[in-house]
Chains A and B, each alone.
Chain A
């Protein structure tokens, strides 16, 4: 802590308590270089992009920042945090803290965000679906699904399915395919059935620290009852929360995103990948496992293991990938962002895929699937560009597609 910290204005105290790793800094260390605002995909639409937010807050204009609609426009891609030369905790620190403060002060978040919070609070998922329908995706699935909430048993992999993979129609194909892949790999796996609730990463990013804490408490009690070697997730956001934030509450579990889990079994996969998938595939690096953890090679290794796949790279890839816009609550804020001049990020991305003549845009995050499919329609690419999760491509190659069940 510098001498400056000792004199922090009382109204900015709350920003000094943001989640910090020893190597991360607060806004007091900002040198106003503008790298953040320049990197932000929505920066030019914000009234207060990150640099200006810090400037205003430090010069007594905190109130204006809290009341600005741009407070709700960060979609959590972490490009700013990644590039900040001072290492300031922006995405995971400043933004959630500002939002939390705004709500504590009675400022109402956008209505669609309120509804998402209330849905999570009441039903454990942001979609407002009944918790009792959490396993509906597994109806008529020909591989057995071990419901650990009904009968506790030790497993190798506790698969936390996630909200969108459980409830959202388009995502269910991916969910079912993953169930088949896990079984084909001989993994002993189980799910939490109707007891599963969201991990809460997006709620935390959007300032609902209290909601996040209540989810940590719930999930910890649930997970502590189970015996497993590791948790595997489809959702990069949930991965991040479990890896980085749950341990702060004493809830620490071995956790992997499915990309690294599959990449670790690459030889086994190669042996099973019998059907070629003839396609030119552009892989979209997701933000929460890609950019944040430098996880760029494992998904490419999985794709390379599929015979017939011609892997191409888009203009912005790896560290510089363009966010689909869904993170950090973005799924619930398209209207808000559009109303304040934000462009549809997903559209930019699908055009990049088309520019490298990709047949398939491959994704690895539940939000990306529907966002890119919608964007493809809007960009007039429906028919020429397919959007598929890595899992779907893999399942096709393993010949594990949807079958007629008796």
Chain B
């Protein structure tokens, strides 16, 4: 069976619907309006019925409930989704560029012999085909693509699509697998959460984040002082965390925290997509970078082309002095 429906792979995080579901539904509703199909949200995982309410923008919500789908184990997830996609025959499958999505999309694409496009920033329809704009090379290049094959599996670039206030029919169904799921060779055991006691970045009003521009671990002191003067907390982009200069709980970006503080200071951060997705919705973004062409300036409200090691102490002074 094939249809013009747009299917999304919904995700959960610590027992709640993941924030990405908003973006997935927003993208799906817009695309479905163009294809003339419905929006179908698939929610694999145990206890899905509790969360279905959050997917009200969809027309149909397919719950795939099974103990093997409790935590993310690739093989059962792929089996369920493959089964659903073959049965439903959607025009497009939208997947978030998350740890789960980045595994599922290529695996499904291979099994279904369906094209998989990374980094999708825009999708429309023309001449009966999907027109997709995707970004790669770290955001330095865009590609306008035509995809005729169905289904097309599209990994959405984080933050490229907005949630929608629209509501769909939101009919909840339980998907019945034709045969029982089997445990695969890769099995989820448990989620290890970071130790408590450290600052929760998501609760901060002010976040002062540093990137490679900090150069040396000891320069963090200058940034700590600034954060203290502002009553905020220090965070960092991935390279700093990889070096071990700050604990993982301070990472902002793809594998770290997503924060929306009142004020986000990006110091010495170039603005790679993996980081920006974790802070783009902050109220006020001020960026300091020595490179005038740094992508961070496209996301910031105010920018300074200078060395953070000069601006940060001066700013601390200015704040304390006033």
Quick check: do A and B touch in the complex, using CB within 8 A? Answer: yes
Contact of A111 with B by CB under 8 A: yes
Contacts of B219 in A (CB 8 A): 335
A339 to B221, CA, bound (A): 11
Contacts of A335 in B (CB 8 A): 215-219
Contact of B13 with A by CB under 8 A: no
- The interface bits of chain A over 335-346 (1 if a CB of B lies within 8 angstroms of the residue's CB, else 0) are 110110000000
Contact of A112 with B by CB under 8 A: yes
Contact of A334 with B by CB under 8 A: yes
A396 to B217, CA, bound (A): 39
- The interface bits of chain B over 242-264 (1 if a CB of A lies within 8 angstroms of the residue's CB, else 0) are 01000000000000000000000
A334 to B216, CA, bound (A): 8
Contacts of B243 in A (CB 8 A): 111
Contacts of B215 in A (CB 8 A): 112, 335
- Is there contact, CB below 8 Å, between A111 and B217? yes
Cβ of B226 to closest chain A Cβ, rounded Å? 16
A335 to B216, CA, bound (A): 6
- The closest CB in chain A to the CB of B214 belongs to A335
Contacts of A112 in B (CB 8 A): 215-216
Q: Report, as a range, how many residues of chain A touch the other chain.
A: under 10
Contacts of B217 in A (CB 8 A): 111, 335, 339
Contacts of A338 in B (CB 8 A): 218
Quick one: which of A371-396 are within 8 Å of B by CB? none
A261 to B217, CA, bound (A): 40
A336 to B245, CA, bound (A): 13
Cβ of B305 to closest chain A Cβ, rounded Å? 10
- The closest CB in chain A to the CB of B244 belongs to A111
A293 to B251, CA, bound (A): 50
A112 to B215, CA, bound (A): 7
- The closest CB in chain B to the CB of A112 belongs to B216
Cβ of A98 to closest chain B Cβ, rounded Å? 22
Contacts of A336 in B (CB 8 A): 216, 218
Cβ of B296 to closest chain A Cβ, rounded Å? 17
Quick one: which of B180-216 are within 8 Å of A by CB? 215-216
- The interface bits of chain A over 84-119 (1 if a CB of B lies within 8 angstroms of the residue's CB, else 0) are 000000000000000000000000000110000000
- The closest CB in chain A to the CB of B219 belongs to A335
A338 to B218, CA, bound (A): 8
- The closest CB in chain B to the CB of A338 belongs to B218
Contacts of A111 in B (CB 8 A): 216-217, 243
A335 to B220, CA, bound (A): 10
Cβ of B205 to closest chain A Cβ, rounded Å? 29
Quick one: which of A321-350 are within 8 Å of B by CB? 334-336, 338-339
Cβ of A237 to closest chain B Cβ, rounded Å? 20
Contacts of A339 in B (CB 8 A): 217-218
Cβ of A164 to closest chain B Cβ, rounded Å? 14
Most buried by B among A334, A335, A339: A335
A114 to B134, CA, bound (A): 35
A335 to B215, CA, bound (A): 9
A339 to B218, CA, bound (A): 7
A194 to B215, CA, bound (A): 25
Contacts of A334 in B (CB 8 A): 216, 218
Cβ of A23 to closest chain B Cβ, rounded Å? 38
A111 to B219, CA, bound (A): 13
Cβ of A110 to closest chain B Cβ, rounded Å? 8
A339 to B216, CA, bound (A): 11
Cβ of B184 to closest chain A Cβ, rounded Å? 38
A288 to B229, CA, bound (A): 42
A338 to B243, CA, bound (A): 19
A230 to B218, CA, bound (A): 42
Cβ of A6 to closest chain B Cβ, rounded Å? 45
Contacts of B218 in A (CB 8 A): 334-336, 338-339
- The closest CB in chain B to the CB of A334 belongs to B216
Quick one: which of B217-232 are within 8 Å of A by CB? 217-219
Quick one: which of B80-129 are within 8 Å of A by CB? none
A258 to B280, CA, bound (A): 50
A88 to B217, CA, bound (A): 35
Cβ of B132 to closest chain A Cβ, rounded Å? 32
Cβ of A285 to closest chain B Cβ, rounded Å? 27
Contacts of B216 in A (CB 8 A): 111-112, 334-336
- The interface bits of chain A over 110-147 (1 if a CB of B lies within 8 angstroms of the residue's CB, else 0) are 01100000000000000000000000000000000000
A sample of 14 more A-B contacts (CB under 8 A), given A334-B216, A336-B216, A339-B218, is: A111-B216, A111-B217, A111-B243, A112-B215, A112-B216, A334-B218, A335-B215, A335-B216, A335-B217, A335-B218, A335-B219, A336-B218, A338-B218, A339-B217
**Interface residues, chain B, with chain A CB atoms under 8 Å away:** 215-219, 243
Q: 5 closest pairs, A vs B, by CB?
A: A335-B216, A335-B218, A112-B216, A339-B218, A338-B218
Between A and B, 17 residue pairs with Cβ closer than 8 Å are A111-B216, A111-B217, A111-B243, A112-B215, A112-B216, A334-B216, A334-B218, A335-B215, A335-B216, A335-B217, A335-B218, A335-B219, A336-B216, A336-B218, A338-B218, A339-B217, A339-B218
